[in-house]
Amino acid sequence: MTATLKTVFSNFRYVVLAVVIFISMLFGLLLLSEYVFLEPYVVSHIPDGTEFGFLLIVILSILSSLVIPMNVYRISILKSSKKKMSGGIFGSFIGAAAGACSCGPVGFAIISTFGTVGATASSFVTNFEIPIRIAAIGLLVIVYYTTVRSLKIECRVNHKV
Amino acid sequence: MDKRILFGGIAILVLIGLVAIFSTSNVGDRDLSANRMHGSISTTMGSSILGNPDAPITIIEFGDYQCHQCYNWFHNTKPAIFQNYVDTGKANFIFVDLAFLGSDSPKAAQASYCAEDQGKYWEYHDVLYVSQESQIDNGWASSERLKAFAFNLGLDMDLFNECLDSEKYSKRVQYNISEAKKHEVNGTPGFFIIGPDGQEQQIKGAQPYSVFKQIMDSMI
């Protein structure tokens, strides 16, 4: 597993990609979930009782920053299929969406635009925010292991060829 | 004959005008003509003022009783603000409804005004934020539960039930929602800090105490 990670991240471009994904995802999710505020001052805090939600955001961002560059590597270097890549992006997306709808501006815009349907959808995503994030993490873990396994096999085959 | 038609027409128009004025100026049993303004914000239909009415600073919160960020603010930030600013007479506090999250939200807001009829608005407000459950519209703020909260506070249940069932304060809550939208409050909780000279500072979201402190200290 370490060897596979070394193979991918020995290329500096993939390290940069991972850092960019991690920072943008972490910052975006912390902003949406109101752990970070930009106005009127830049400030961050973790209110009591929301520590677990914060931890899930960090895990989600780390996994996304590993899985997506590894799959980009598979596709661009090894010319593999894009199936696992879409799994990684889907996992990241649903993890992000779980925190987006709520009492904040995104939820307000959805409810204002779509009325009752928007309110129902927003309520669902808000009510199941933690389970959805855990499911997204589960999906990313599966994609991570299958990607590592397939990278091992594909790299070996490519080496032989 | 023409004169009769003319006078009749005028009388009907005057009557329609009076009905229109009456129906728009009375929201629940509050009179809009007695407009209470803080900065550019009309708080007439919001809560009563909590704290010193002559305090140099007014904190206006736009909130929803089902909003979990409002819950976080209520439990994590509000106590320090009250201890250092409201209880010391430096600031007062007004709550205005932006009840948008679910079908139980407007009902909960209406119930708070039914409690106000019996002088227990703030007690009821606190009960709602203490009793809030993490899921929206899961029944924690259903009519039955809202009545149970009122019962536990010792309110006259005949009066409370009649008030809630008749949706006496439906228009009042709607007015508050439109006031929030007019001031571009696009999420809850949303705050306005109104300074002694009428200057306004908006705070979006359940921000920590340090932000409120910094703004209020700069205004005093």
Assess A50–B contact: CB distance below 8 Å, yes or no: yes
Quote the pLDDT of residue A119: 85
Distance (Å, whole) CA B43 – CA B87: 21
**What CATH number has the domain bearing residue B198?**
3.40.30.10
According to DSSP, residue B190 is labeled E
| Claim to verify: residue B106 and residue B196 sit in the same structural domain | yes
pLDDT higher than 60, residue B219: yes
Biggest CA pair distance of chain B: 75
B170 lies in which domain range? 36-219
Q: How confident is the model at residue B64 (pLDDT cuts 50, 70, 90)?
A: very high
Rounded to the nearest angstrom, the minimum Cα separation between A12 and chain B is 38
pLDDT (average), residues A146-158: 75
Name which of A65-74, A101-110, B3-12, B152-161 the model is least confident about: B3-12
Quote the pLDDT of residue B81: 97
| Claim to verify: residue B161 and residue B147 sit in the same structural domain | yes
- Token pair recorded at residue A46: 């973790």
| Claim to verify: residue B22 and residue B40 sit in the same structural domain | no
Q: Between A and B, how many CB-CB pairs are < 8 A? A: 76
Name which of A130-139, B100-109, B126-135 the model is least confident about: A130-139
pLDDT higher than 70, residue B9: no
Quote the pLDDT of residue B22: 43
Number of structural domains in chain B:
2
Q: Are A100 and A52 in contact (CB under 8 A)?
A: no
Average pLDDT, chain A: 84
Instruction: For Cα atoms B154, B156, B158, give the angle at the middle one, nearest 5 degrees.
Output: 140
A10-68 per-position pLDDT tens digit: 889 999 999 999 999 999 999 988 999 998 999 999 998 889 999 999 999 999 999 99
Q: Are B111 and B164 in contact (CB under 8 A)?
A: yes
**Nearest Cα to Cα of residue A72 among A26, A153, A64:** A64
| Claim to verify: residue B8 and residue B77 sit in the same structural domain | no
Quote the pLDDT of residue A114: 84
* Token pair 């696009």 in the structure block, residue: B186
pLDDT higher than 90, residue B71: yes
| Claim to verify: residue B42 and residue B9 sit in the same structural domain | no
| Claim to verify: residue B87 and residue B128 sit in the same structural domain | yes
- Amino acid letter, B73: W
pLDDT (average), residues A87-104: 72
Assess A33–B contact: CB distance below 8 Å, yes or no: no
| Claim to verify: residue B48 and residue B157 sit in the same structural domain | yes
- Token pair recorded at residue A72: 């980009």
| Claim to verify: residue B68 and residue B13 sit in the same structural domain | no
Q: Are B56 and B196 in contact (CB under 8 A)?
A: yes
Count of residues making up chain B: 220
| Claim to verify: residue B183 and residue B200 sit in the same structural domain | yes
| Chain B residue with Cα closest to A31 | B205
pLDDT (average), residues B83-108: 95
Distance (Å, whole) CA B129 – CA B78: 12
Beta strands in B66-106 (DSSP E): 91-97
Rounded to the nearest angstrom, the minimum Cα separation between A132 and chain B is 14
Assess A111–B contact: CB distance below 8 Å, yes or no: yes
| Claim to verify: residue B57 and residue B28 sit in the same structural domain | no
According to DSSP, residue B173 is labeled H
A138 lies in which domain range? 2-160
Rounded to the nearest angstrom, the minimum Cα separation between B155 and chain A is 30
Chain A residue numbers with beta carbons less than 8 Å from the beta carbon of B206 are 34, 47
Number of structural domains in chain A:
1
pLDDT higher than 80, residue B208: yes
Average pLDDT, chain B: 89
Quote the pLDDT of residue A84: 61
Q: Which of the residues B62, B71, B129, B207 would you substitute to probe the A interface, choosing the one with the greatest number of A C-beta atoms within 10 Å?
A: B207
Distance (Å, whole) CA B181 – CA B84: 30
Q: Do B69 and A127 touch (CB under 8 A)?
A: no
Quote the pLDDT of residue B31: 56
| Claim to verify: residue B8 and residue B45 sit in the same structural domain | no
Distance (Å, whole) CA A143 – CA B25: 61
Of A41, A103, A127, the CB nearest to B187: A103
Q: Do A103 and B67 touch (CB under 8 A)?
A: yes
Q: Which of the residues A30, A32, A34, A103 would you substitute to probe the B interface, choosing the one with the greatest number of B C-beta atoms within 10 Å?
A: A103
| Chain A residue with Cα closest to B209 | A45
0.85 surpassed by complex ipTM: no
Q: Please give the residue that has the higher pLDDT: either B59 or B4.
A: B59
Q: Please give the residue that has the higher pLDDT: either A97 or A104.
A: A104
| Chain B residue with Cα closest to A130 | B134
| Claim to verify: residue B14 and residue B43 sit in the same structural domain | no
pLDDT (average), residues A67-76: 87
Quote the pLDDT of residue B32: 54
